[in-house]
């Protein structure tokens, strides 16, 4: 018994030592929960420039989308996404759907196509942002479609991750799924800390134009 305790203790010391030496690594700049959300400057489906600073004082929800991705289709075919958009914008939240696919890739849409998608799907975003060069996608480290972000009225990123807790393309997975976005918005509204502020997004890989 004593011997085991001692061994474990030594292992613990070694571990503590390692912690101090674990150093040299890779600096990365993924947006941080609790820090200022990355700025963006893109155009909307009407060609009008849109900047994050335009929405200061309002809660902003970003939804990365690709209308042909099976995971996105799961949420639109069931009207789950449209209902979420309607519930959120009704409360004065700004909902921005972001299309980062470049021309020639799945999910790409130009202005008229994007507007048509909104109309035919009965979607209700406040606006659709076009990011065919992928700059905004890279700034936010958007990885999948869908990928969701919530920015509070102070411009702080308060949520990043999945739309819900069921990483599946099957429509049946919507039953009993917990919406991380609804949960975060409820907590945000109540002035409570967000209990699950960073989750692993799921879906189709985001398609970004190569950097030049």
Partner 1 sequence: MGDRSANRFLRQGLLALALLTPAAGFAAESPAVTSPRLSATLVSSRDTVQPGERFQVALKQKITKGWHTYWANPGDSGEATKIDWTLPEGYAAGEIQWPAPKAIPFPPLVNFGFEGTVLLPVEITVPESAKPGETLTLKANATWLVCEKICIPEEGLFTLDLPIGPAAVVDEQAQQRIEAVRAALPQPAQFKARLTGEGDRLALALPGIGKAATDLRFFPLSDTLIDHAAPQALAAEGEGASLQLTRSSAFKITRPELSGVVTYREGSIPRALTLVADVEPSLVTAATEAAPSGTAVVRTPAPPPESDLTLWAALAFAFAGGLILNLMPCVLPVLFIKALGFAQLAQANRAEVREQGLLFLCGVLATFLVLASIVIGLGALGTSVGWGFQLQSPPVVIALAVIMALIGFNLLGAFEVGSSVQGVGHGLASSGGRMGAFMTGALAVIVATPCTAPFMGAAMGYALTQPPALALCVFLALALGFAAPVVMLSFAPGWLRLLPKPGRWMVILKQAFAFPMFATAIWLVWVASVQAGPMGVLAALVAVLAAGFLVWLLGLSRGAGGRTRVATSILALLVAIGAGTFVVQSAVPSDGPSEARAGEVEAWSPERVAALQAQGRPVFVNFTAAWCITCLANERVSLSRQEVKDAFASLKVAYLKADWTNRDKVIAQALAEHGRAGVPLYLFYPASKGGQAEILPQLLTTDMLITAAERAAGREVKTAASR
Residue ranges binding partner 1 (CB under 8 A): 1, 4-5, 8-9, 11-12, 15, 18-19, 22-28, 30-35, 67-71, 73, 105-107, 138, 141, 143-144, 152, 156, 158-161, 167-170, 193-208, 210
Residue 57 Cβ, how far from partner 1 at the closest point, in Å?
16
CB closer to partner 1 out of 84 and 139: 139
Residue 159 Cβ, how far from partner 1 at the closest point, in Å?
8
CB closer to partner 1 out of 23 and 47: 23
Rounded alpha-carbon distances, angstroms, from residue 154 to 9, 55, 158? 47, 10, 10
CA distance 155 to 59: 8
Residue 20 Cβ, how far from partner 1 at the closest point, in Å?
8
CA distance 117 to 195: 34
Dihedral, 107, 111, 116, 121 alpha carbons, nearest 10: 50
CB closer to partner 1 out of 50 and 163: 163
- Read off the tokens for 8: 């474990």
Residue 206 Cβ, how far from partner 1 at the closest point, in Å?
7
Residue 49 Cβ, how far from partner 1 at the closest point, in Å?
25
CA distance 69 to 134: 17
CB closer to partner 1 out of 47 and 191: 191
Q: Crossing angle, helix 80-90 and helix 70-77, to 10 degrees?
A: 70
């Amino acid at each position: 018994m004593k011997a085991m305790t001692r061994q474990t203790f030594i292992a613990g010391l070694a571990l503590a030592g390692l912690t101090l030496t674990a150093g040299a690594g890779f600096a990365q700049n993924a947006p941080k929960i609790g820090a200022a959300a990355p700025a963006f400057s893109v155009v909307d489906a009407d060609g009008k420039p849109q900047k994050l600073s335009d929405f200061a004082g309002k809660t902003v929800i970003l939804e990365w989308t690709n209308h042909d991705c099976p995971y996105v289709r799961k949420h639109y075919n069931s009207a789950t996404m449209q209902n979420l958009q309607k519930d959120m914008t009704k409360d004065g939240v700004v909902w921005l759907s972001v299309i980062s696919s470049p021309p020639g890739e799945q999910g790409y849409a130009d202005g008229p196509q994007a507007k048509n998608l909104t109309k035919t799907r009965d979607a209700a975003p406040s606006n659709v942002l076009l990011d065919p060069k992928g700059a905004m996608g890279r700034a936010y480290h958007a990885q999948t479609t869908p990928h969701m972000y919530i920015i509070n009225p102070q411009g702080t990123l308060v949520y990043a991750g999945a739309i819900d807790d069921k990483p599946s393309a099957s429509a049946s997975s919507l039953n009993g799924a917990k919406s991380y976005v609804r949960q975060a918005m409820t907590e945000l509204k109540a002035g409570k800390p967000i209990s699950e502020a960073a989750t692993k997004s799921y879906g189709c890989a985001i398609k970004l134009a190569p950097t030049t």
